């Protein structure tokens, strides 16, 4: 669809940036905080990149005022952050830690005083270790109940101050990485257990949404999903069918549950045939049906390309995906994996890649937004999008990151085209505001608008230094996006 002119961004568009507790806060055991599964997992040698952990991270816990001041200087309209569950309930359930609540209350107040809308994520992967030990984490329905009680504490305390809430961050990433690929805690490699745990998270999500609607009727809540559009490798109908399977496997298996309250039938049947079915009680069906969100959070990095699977063609065609990519859950050489019968991943000859091997695909962003709008018809909040790169600090004072500006600009223009097409996008949070700890890549892979002067080995002074992209985004916000076209 070609537009001679693009619609302006909505007047109250939420220009934002994002972070997650474990990746920025540090203060891992301060003021009564209990350990999370990431605190424990990162202490085992070999689990993380160069043994990096979140003990100090970028010390946002102690420097949040300085960080909010920079947000204000940038003109940010929204800041997405997550709450560390084990700061609020050190054992995951039971006694509430007032000091933990105070920290988030202070942060929220600081944001509001500076006219920045807080966007609160309830779960960004840092499950309290106590729940892992006591209930086997997300493998137990008791963890779902504990999650709902944790949410209740936050809804009651912050329901009047925070309008936008995110339930689960990228369930489609933390579940496979935690229970299938052993790349995240609890580092399990068991497909059957993975699908069962995933169902429990779906229940937790739906129950939290339902409770939110009862306690905070004026607010808005939704999950943040890591969406990757699936392309067909060719116009061979067999490849088109494969891409449809890929979309069902990677996207609709989660999004249908969130937005339509039930699993896609084809996928359930596929799991049954592979002896991977999980228990869904009639009570569960009711619960899922009651968890419809108010908006859909979309995290967009890249999509994938599918061709007919090798069982049908009788040969393996493309070996380019040798590693596990969290956005393309493709089993490698594991012929019992359900997706092996459905499609085969291929690299896309039209797309370049980042320094970290992720495809760069701004048009895919527009496709993403249009597809989710067409299928689920909810307002969309882009809760993550950004470029991970090596940044160089020059003379201790400047960081020139034209590659990041180019990446963001292309994505924002495609988002504006999607808005012009008719997608209702309410906000956009770039990943990330400051540099932060990458779960599996330490401090080498940077995403921030603000450089944080530390590396994997040394914390140094943790000085904050705005990058060129900081000033560029500031102008985008100031002009409500019109500068995006002027700069051409
Ligand atoms: C998303 C997560 O998957 O991608 C973030 O929600 C994460 O927490 C981001 O940091 C980038 O991932 P990575 O591996 O490049 O740091």
Say if ligand 1 is within 6 A of residue 86 CB.
no
Peptide bond into 186 cis (omega under 30): yes
Q: Which atom of ligand 1 is nearest to the CA of 327?
A: 3
Which pLDDT score is estimated for 190?
94
Q: Which atom of ligand 1 is nearest to the CA of 440?
A: 14
Q: Which atom of ligand 1 is nearest to the CA of 125?
A: 8
| Interval 113-166: pLDDT, tens | 999 999 999 999 999 999 999 999 999 999 999 999 999 999 999 999 999 999
Which pLDDT score is estimated for 340?
83
Ligand 1 pocket mutation pick from 81, 170, 223, 439 by most atoms within 8 angstroms of CB: 439
| Cα(6)–Cα(457) distance, integer angstroms | 47
Say if ligand 1 is within 6 A of residue 52 CB.
no
Say if ligand 1 is within 6 A of residue 170 CB.
yes
Token readout for 34 is 């209990």
Residue 168's Cβ-count burial label (10 Å; 0-12, 13-18, 19+) is buried
| Torsion region of 9: left, alpha or beta (phi above 0 gives left; psi -120 to 50 gives alpha) | beta
Which pLDDT score is estimated for 486?
83
Say if ligand 1 is within 6 A of residue 411 CB.
no
CA of 443 to the centre of ligand 1 (A): 12
Report yes or no: 99 and 35 within 8 Å, Cβ to Cβ: no
Ligand 1 pocket mutation pick from 438, 442, 446, 448 by most atoms within 8 angstroms of CB: 438
CA of 236 to the centre of ligand 1 (A): 34
Say if ligand 1 is within 6 A of residue 64 CB.
no
| Cα(181)–Cα(158) distance, integer angstroms | 36
Which pLDDT score is estimated for 255?
98
Which pLDDT score is estimated for 1?
86
Q: Which atom of ligand 1 is nearest to the CA of 432?
A: 10
CA of 217 to the centre of ligand 1 (A): 31
Which residue, 299, 422, 300, 447, is CA-closest to 362? 300
CA of 226 to the centre of ligand 1 (A): 10
Closest residue by CA, ligand 1 atom 13? 438
Ligand 1 pocket mutation pick from 431, 432, 444, 456 by most atoms within 8 angstroms of CB: 431
Say if ligand 1 is within 6 A of residue 445 CB.
yes
Q: Which residues are catalytic?
A: 170, 384
CA of 316 to the centre of ligand 1 (A): 30
Closest residue by CA, ligand 1 atom 10? 438
Which pLDDT score is estimated for 171?
98
Spans in the chain with pLDDT lower than 50: 318-324, 326-329, 331, 333-335
CA of 100 to the centre of ligand 1 (A): 24
* Backbone angles phi and psi of 285, in degrees to 5: -60, -40
Which pLDDT score is estimated for 206?
98
Closest residue by CA, ligand 1 atom 16? 438
Report yes or no: 456 and 444 within 8 Å, Cβ to Cβ: yes
Report yes or no: 53 and 457 within 8 Å, Cβ to Cβ: no
Report yes or no: 416 and 399 within 8 Å, Cβ to Cβ: no
Which residue, 313, 310, 89, is CA-closest to 321? 310
Say if ligand 1 is within 6 A of residue 439 CB.
yes
Say if ligand 1 is within 6 A of residue 472 CB.
no
CA of 439 to the centre of ligand 1 (A): 7
Which pLDDT score is estimated for 94?
97
Say if ligand 1 is within 6 A of residue 298 CB.
no
Which pLDDT score is estimated for 396?
86
CA of 432 to the centre of ligand 1 (A): 9
Which pLDDT score is estimated for 245?
96
Say if ligand 1 is within 6 A of residue 354 CB.
no
Per-residue DSSP letter, 128: B
Which pLDDT score is estimated for 311?
76
Beta strands 230-232 and 220-227: pairing type? unpaired
User: pTM to 2 decimals?
Assistant: 0.95
Report yes or no: 140 and 147 within 8 Å, Cβ to Cβ: no
Say if ligand 1 is within 6 A of residue 169 CB.
yes
CA of 237 to the centre of ligand 1 (A): 34
Closest residue by CA, ligand 1 atom 12? 438
């Amino acid at each position: 669809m070609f537009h001679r002119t693009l619609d302006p961004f909505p007047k109250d568009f939420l220009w934002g940036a994002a972070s997650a507790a474990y990746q920025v806060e540090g203060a891992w055991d301060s003021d009564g905080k209990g350990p999370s599964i990431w605190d424990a997992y990162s202490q085992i040698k070999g689990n993380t990149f160069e043994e990096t952990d979140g003990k100090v991270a970028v010390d946002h816990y102690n420097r949040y005022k300085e960080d909010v001041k920079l947000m204000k200087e940038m003109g940010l309209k929204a800041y997405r952050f997550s709450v560390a569950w084990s700061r609020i309930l050190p054992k995951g359930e039971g006694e509430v830690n007032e000091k933990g609540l105070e920290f988030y209350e202070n942060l929220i107040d600081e944001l509001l005083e500076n006219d920045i809308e807080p966007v609160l994520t309830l779960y960004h992967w840092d499950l309290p270790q106590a729940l892992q030990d006591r209930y086997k984490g997300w493998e137990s329905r008791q963890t779902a109940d504990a999650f709902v009680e944790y949410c209740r504490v936050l809804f009651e305390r912050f329901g009047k101050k925070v309008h936008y809430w995110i339930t689960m961050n990228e369930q489609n990433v933390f579940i496979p990485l935690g229970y299938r690929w052993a790349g995240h805690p609890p580092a399990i490699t068991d497909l059957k257990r993975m699908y069962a745990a995933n169902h429990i998270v779906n229940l937790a999500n739906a129950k939290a949404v339902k409770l939110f609607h009862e306690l905070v009727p004026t607010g808005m809540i939704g999950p943040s999903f890591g969406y990757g559009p699936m392309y067909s490798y060719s116009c061979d109908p067999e490849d088109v069918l494969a891409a449809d399977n890929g979309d069902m496997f990677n996207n609709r298996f989660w999004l249908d549950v969130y937005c339509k309250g039930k699993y896609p039938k084809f996928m359930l049947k596929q799991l049954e045939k592979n002896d991977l079915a999980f228990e869904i009680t009639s009570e569960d069906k009711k619960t899922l049906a009651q968890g419809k969100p108010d908006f859909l959070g979309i995290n967009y990095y890249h999509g994938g390309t599918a061709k007919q699977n090798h069982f049908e063609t009788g040969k393996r065609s493309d070996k380019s995906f040798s590693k596990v990519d969290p956005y393309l859950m493709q089993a490698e050489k594991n012929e019992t994996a359900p997706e092996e019968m459905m499609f085969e991943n291929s690299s896309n000859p039209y797309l370049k890649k980042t320094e970290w091997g992720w495809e760069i695909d701004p048009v895919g962003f527009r496709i993403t937004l249009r597809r989710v709008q067409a299928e689920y018809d909810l307002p969309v909040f882009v809760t993550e999008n950004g470029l991970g790169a090596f940044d160089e600090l020059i003379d201790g004072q400047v960081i020139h990151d034209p590659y990041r500006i180019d990446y963001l600009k292309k994505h924002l223009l495609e988002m504006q085209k999607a808005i012009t097409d008719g997608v209702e996008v309410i906000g956009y949070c770039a990943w990330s505001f400051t540099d932060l700890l990458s779960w599996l890549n330490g401090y080498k892979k940077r995403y921030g608008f603000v450089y944080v002067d530390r590396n994997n080995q040394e914390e140094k002074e943790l000085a904050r230094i705005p990058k060129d992209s900081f000033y560029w985004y500031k102008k985008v916000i100031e002009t409500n996006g019109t500068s995006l076209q002027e700069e051409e």
